[in-house]
Amino acid sequence: MINELIPELIGGTLIGLAASLLWLGIGRISGMTGVLSSLFLWREQQRHWAFWFLAGLVLAYPLYKLLGYSAPLQLTSNNTLLMAAGLLVGFGTYIGNGCTSGHGVCGIGRLSLRSAIATVTFMVAGIATVAVMNLSGGVL
């Protein structure tokens, strides 16, 4: 049982370590919304950290596979659904003033009430979405 949790524990530790190092090192929150927006803020001279953070995120999965691990990903082949989901996530990130990683990992770690409420909202919306998809038989 505990052996099955080791990859998750290592992953969670690495996420926490990366978030802590970014916060303590340069005072930035490691939410993906902030990372991506920092890449496109031309007035920000010190944005190389965002490039390296994003590069690490993009390279993590191929490295994981290269080391012989597998992580099955299942996505729908319905492109309309994927586009709608992306737009809804983007809109939710905008009105929530941040994403799940920013609020869930960093905000809760800083004991932010706003982030706790946002994270609970994300979780409830995710659970409701899965329930609706399951009830529809995945037709949506």
Q: What is the pLDDT of residue 12?
A: 87
pLDDT tens digits, 51-63 = 888 888 889 888 8
Span 87-110, pLDDT tens digits? 888 787 877 788 877 888 888 888
Helix axes 48-66, 2-26, angle to 10 degrees: 160
Amino acid letter for position 38: S
Please, how many CA atoms are within 13 Å of residue 72, restricted to the half-sphere of its CB?
1
Q: Which residues contact 83 (CB under 8 A, 6 or more apart)?
A: none
**Neighbouring C-alpha atoms within 13 Å toward the C-beta of 69:** 12
Confidence (pLDDT) at 127: 92
Report the C-alpha gap between 36 and 31 in whole angstroms.
9
